[in-house]
Structure 1
Amino acid sequence: MNPISQHLASRGLSPSDFLVITKLPVDVLNDDFDVERLSASQLKVAAQVLGIPEYLLFSTRSSKLKRLPLDFRSTGNAKVVHTKYSLSAVYQSYSNSEFISLIERHVNIKGRFPDLREDQTPIERMRVLFNCDSASDLFYLDPISLFKKLRTNAEDSGLFVFVDDVVDTSFRGFCFKDDHRNFVFINRRHFNVRSRIFTLAHEVAHLLQGHPGIIDPVGHRSSVERQTNRLAAEFLISLSTLTEYLPANAEKQEIPELLSYLHSRLPFSKFFLAMRLQELGGSFSGIVNKWLKLVNVKDLPNSYGTQELAQYEHEIDQLESQSDDDLDVEAIRRQGSGGRQVSRLGSRTLETIEIARQQNIVSVFDVQSSLGLPAKYYEKTIASLRRQLAEVQRYGPS
C-alpha cells in the first residue's frame, strides 16, 4: 500500500473525497505510485488534507520515519524540511548511511572522529578534525583547491561529506550523526565554492558541539546558529589574521574597493568578509549595511544574525562572486562523469565501498542501487578518486 492510501485508511477519509478535495490524479492511490512524482505543491496539499507532516508521505521506509523526527523536526527545522527536494537530500543521505553501516559489519573502516579530549575547546576540536591550526594555513590555495583540501582532511578524520545539487535553495546544507558516523550534506545549487567553504566549517562546528541533525537554512539564525557561525568564522580566519590582510589606511578606503581587495586575496565571499570586518568594530561598524546600499541591495538591520540579513546572503553572493561561479562551473565540467561522482559522494564513502568491493562484499550494482553511482561509471569514479587524492596531497602538508 502506498503512503497516501495508508494514511487515508487510518483516517477514515474516502478515496473519492480525497481526490475531489486535493484535485490529484486518480493514480496517486495505486499501490505502485511513487510519491516522488508529485510536485512540491501537490505534496503539500495532500499532507494538509490528511493532517500529517509531509515527510510521512515522502518516505515509505519505517526506519527513516522513526529517525527523521528525532534528528530534524525536534531541532527547529519544521519550516525548512518541507519540500520534496530537501526531503530527498535528507533521505538519500540516510540511505547512504544505512549502506555504509551494512558494509561496516564486514569491513573494519575508519568512520569515527579522532579522539577529542573533554578539556578541548570547540575551536581546538575544529583544528584536530581539519588537521590544521586554521584555514589561513592554506590560503596559498585557490578557493576550489582549499575546499577540496579541507574536505579531504575532514574525511580523513572520519567525516562523510556529500555535495549535490538540490532544487530547493532555501538551505545551504545539514549535518547529522548516525550511530558513531558523522555526516555533512552541502547543497551546491547556485552557491559558489566560497560559500561552500563556510558551509563545511559551519556544519562541522555543529557536529563538534553535539548538535543533532540540523539543516542550515538561508534566513534562519537562532542563537545556536549564531554561535556556530562564530566558531566556523574564527576557524576560517581569525580577526587578528584578517587585520594582517588589510591594506594601509583601510578604514579610509571606499567599501567596494576594500572588499574587492580582500576578495582577491582571501578565499571567501564579500558578504562573509564584510561581516568579519564589521566585527572589528571602530571605523568598520555598520559596514555591511553601507555596502549593501552601495550595491543597491535594500537596507537591512545591522546585525550579524538577523533573519532579514541572511535572506539576502545568496543574492549578495550571486551579485558579488559571479566570476567564482563561472570558475566553479568550469571546474565541474572538466571533472567528467567519474569526477562528478567523486565530488558528490566524497573520498570517505568511495574508499569505504571500494574496500568492500575488493573483498566481494558488495558489487558495483549494489553501489548503483544504494548510492546512485551508475555501474558503468564505477571504475572511472575510482580512478578519478585516486587522481584527486594525489592532487590534494600535492597541495601541501595535511
Structure 2
Amino acid sequence: MQIYNILKQVREQRNFEIADVANASKISLSSLEKIESGEKDPSFNQIENLAKTYGVQPYLFYDANSPNIPEGLTDFRRTTPSPAKISPAGFRRIWTSEAIAGFANQLLEVTGYQRPPWTNEPLRGNISLERATKLRNFFDSWFSNKELGFGFLGSDEHCFLSGLRIFIELTGITININDAPPEDFIGFYNSNPNETPSIFVNRKIASKKAQLFTLVHELAHHLLDKDGISNPFRAKNQIERRCNEFAAEFIAPMESFQLLVEKHISRSNQNAIELINIISSKSLLSRYATAIRLKEAGYLKDADLKQWIKINSNLYFALREEKLEESESAGSGGQVHAKRLSELGYLPTYLAATAVRKKIIDRIDVQQGMFLAESIQDKAFSLAKRRVEVAEA
C-alpha cells in the first residue's frame, strides 16, 4: 500500500480533521492535502511529526498492510457511548497520561513497592450511595490524622482535593491534573495492560471544586471498570448519571448537606440562584453540582433548576467564570515543582525518586519516562517523598 493511502487511513481511523492534523503537525494544510493525495512525498521530518500527532511509530506508515489502529477511549459524553472523536491535542494528553502510567507500572515492579495495608479495602465495592458514604467516612478518618503532616495551604476544597488524590494514588491509580482542550473532555479514566490505572482531570477551565467532582466521578468509572472520557456536568446516559450520584454523595453526603442547607436557607430569600450561590460557597460542590444536589434534596423545584441551567447553558463559560473567581481570591499559583508534581502524580514521582536513589534508573530516564525536567527533580522528589510517607504512616 502506498504511503499516502496509509497516512490518510490512519487519520480517518483517528477521526481527525485534516486541518487539525496540519495544525498539530506543523505542516501546512495545502502540503498535507498534497501528501494524502499522492501529489507530494512527505519528508522525514514530516513523517516524524505525523507519527507524533497520530500516536504511532513511524514505521507503521511503511507497512505493506492496511493499518489497524486500536479504537480510542469510549466517549461517555454521548447518549449512546461510542469511540471518542477528539482533537489531536486531546489525544496527545491521553497518550502522555498512558506513558506516565506505563512508566509508573515499571517502577512498581523494579522498586518492589508495597502499598500500605489500609489501601487493601477502601476502593473495593460498587458505586452505590451506601458505598460512597462508607468511603467518605473512611477517607475522613484517614485524612484527619494526616492533614497537618501534609502541610497543604489554601482553600478547603484545595486541601480536600490534594489529600484525596494522594489517598487514591496510594491504592495504585496514577492521577494527572493538567490542561487539555475542554471541548474534548473534562476528565477521563483509562486502564491498559502494563500500565497503572489512570485518572485525568482537566484543570483548563475547572475550579478546584469542579476538579474535585470530576476526580470522584472518574473514580466511580474505575470502580465500574468503564474506561472513557467524560463531561460530568452534562450527563447524557445512565453510566454518567450513576457516577455523578456517587460523586455527589461522596463530596456532599445527603444528611450533612441537608443540615447545611437548613442552616443557611433563610439567607436566600427564597431566591433559587442566591440559594445555589450560598450553599456552593459553604460546601465542596461547584455551583452546577450544588444546583443538582439541591434539586435531589428537595430544596429546588424542577422549574427553578431548568431555569438556572438555561441561564448557565454555556457550560464552559460558567465553569471558567467560577475558576476566574477562585483565581482572583487565591492569588498567583504555587512553585513550579509543586505544579509539575500535580500534573504528573505523586505515585510515579515517588517511585521515580525511589528508583533513582536505589540507582535502578538515572535522572535522564526520569525525564524521558515521565517528562519531569532534571532541573526540578530534586524538589519534586522531596515533596512527593514527604507527603507519601505521611500518607503511608
TM-score class, shorter-chain normalisation, is 0.7 to 0.9
Deviations 1:107-131 (A, max 9, x none): 2124796347987664565567667
Deviation string 1:146-165 (CA, Å, 9 cap, x unpaired) is 11011111112222101111
Alignment partners' CA distance in 1, 2:81 and 2:41: 30
Change in Cα spacing, 1:266 to 1:81, as seen in structure 2 (3 Å) is same
Name the counterpart of 1:170: 184
* Matching of residue 86 in structure 1 with residue 99 in structure 2: no
SS at match of 2:214: helix
Q: Counterpart in 1 of 2:302?
A: 285
The one-letter code of the counterpart of 2:56 is S
Decide whether aligned partners of structure 1 residues 376 and 134 sit closer, same or farther in structure 2, where only a CA change above 3 A counts: closer
Is residue 114 from structure 1 mapped to residue 120 from structure 2 by the alignment?
yes
Any residues of structure 2 matched to 1:354-373 within 5 Å, and which? 354-373=353-372
* Cα separation, partners in 2 of 1:131 and 1:29, compared to 1, 3 Å: farther
Instruction: Give the secondary structure class of the aligned counterpart of 2:71.
Output: helix
TM-score, with structure 1 as normaliser: 0.73
Amino acid at match of 1:76: P
> Which residue is 1:266 aligned to?
283
What does residue 253 of structure 1 align with? Answer: 270
Partner of 1:178: helix, strand, or coil? coil
Q: CA deviation at 1:235?
A: 1.2
Rate the CA distance shift 1:19–1:276 in 2: closer, same or farther, 3 A.
same
Residue 110 of structure 2 aligns to a residue in which SS? coil
Check 1:169–1:225 CA distance in 2 against 1; reply closer, same or farther (3 A cut). same
Q: TM-score w.r.t. structure 2 length?
A: 0.73
Match in the other structure for 1:208: 223
Q: Is it true that 1:188 corresponds to 2:192 in the alignment? A: no
Q: Distance in 2 between matches of 1:2 and 1:324?
A: 53
Retained in 1: the 8 A contact 2:268–2:274?
A: no
Deviation, 1:275, is 0.8
RMSD: 4.2
Contact 2:179 2:204 survives alignment (8 Å): yes
Q: Over residues 234-290 of structure 1, what are the superposed CA-to-partner deviations in whole Å (9 max), with x where a residue is unaligned?
A: 111122221111125478521232122212211221111011101123653333223
Letter in 1 for 2:326: D
2:42 is aligned to: 29
- Correspondence for 1:198 among 209, 213, 217: 213
1:232-247 to structure 2, matched below 5 A, reads 232-246=247-261, 247=264
The 1:245–1:324 alpha-carbon spacing in structure 2 relative to 1, beyond 3 Å, is same
The 3-state SS of whatever aligns with 1:158 is: coil
User: Counterpart of 2:363 in structure 1: which amino acid?
Assistant: V
Q: Which residue of 2 aligns with 1:132?
A: 138
- Deviation digits for residues 78-108 of structure 1 (CA, Å, limit 9, x no counterpart): 3x44211110011111111222233233221
2:107 aligns with 103
Q: Which amino acid aligns with 1:90?
A: I
Give the whole-Å Cα distance in 2 for the aligned partners of 1:329 and 1:4.
Answer: 51
Moved more, 260-269 or 138-147: 138-147
CA shift in 2, pair 1:116/1:241, >3 Å = closer
Contact in 1 for aligned 2:176/2:200 (Cα 8 Å): yes
Counterpart pick for 1:151 among 126, 149, 165:
165
Partner-residue secondary structure (3-state), 1:286 = helix
Say if 1:29 and 1:273 are closer, same or farther in 2 by CA, change over 3 A.
same
Which blocks of at least 5 consecutive residues in structure 1 are unaligned?
A: 11-17, 44-54, 299-311
User: In structure 2, how many angstroms separate the alpha carbons of the residues matched to 1:109 and 1:27?
Assistant: 52
Q: CA 1:90–1:61 in structure 2 vs 1: closer, same or farther (change >3 Å)?
A: farther
Shift of 1:225: 0.8
Deviations 1:169-212 (A, max 9, x none): 4311111123473210111112111110001000000111121x
Any conservation in 1 of the 2:217–2:244 contact (CA below 8 Å)?
Answer: yes
Cα distance, 1:70 vs structure 2: 7.0
In structure 1, distance between residues paired with 2:354 and 2:137: 24
Q: Structure 1 residues 320, 118: closer, same or farther in 2, change over 3 A? A: closer
> CA separation of 1:91/1:132 partners in 2, compared to 1, >3 Å: closer, same or farther?
same
Residue 56 of structure 2: aligned partner: 59
Higher relative contact order (CA 8 A, sep 6+): 2
Distance (Å, rounded) in 2 between the aligned partners of 1:125 and 1:24? 54
Q: 1:261/1:19 Cα in 2 relative to 1: closer, same or farther (>3 Å)?
A: closer
**Residue 208 to residue 32, structure 1, CA distance change in 2 (3 Å):** same
> 1 CA distance for matches of 2:229 and 2:113?
27
Over residues 335-381 of structure 1, what are the superposed CA-to-partner deviations in whole Å (9 max), with x where a residue is unaligned?
Answer: 22211111111211111111111111111101111211111211121
Q: Matched residue pairs, number?
A: 350
Question: In 2, are the aligned partners of 1:163 and 1:187 still within 8 Å (CA)?
Answer: yes
Separation in 1, partners of 2:269, 2:357: 62
**Cα shift at 1:226:** 1.1
Q: Which residue of 2 aligns with 1:347?
A: 346
Tell me, yes or no, if the aligned pair for 2:127 and 2:220 is still in contact at 8 Å: no
- Map Cα deviations across residues 41-86 of structure 1 (whole Å, 9 max, x no partner): xx9xxxxxxxxxxx8x3422899x98852754799353x4421111
Is the CA contact 1:175–1:206 (under 8 Å) kept in the aligned structure 2? yes
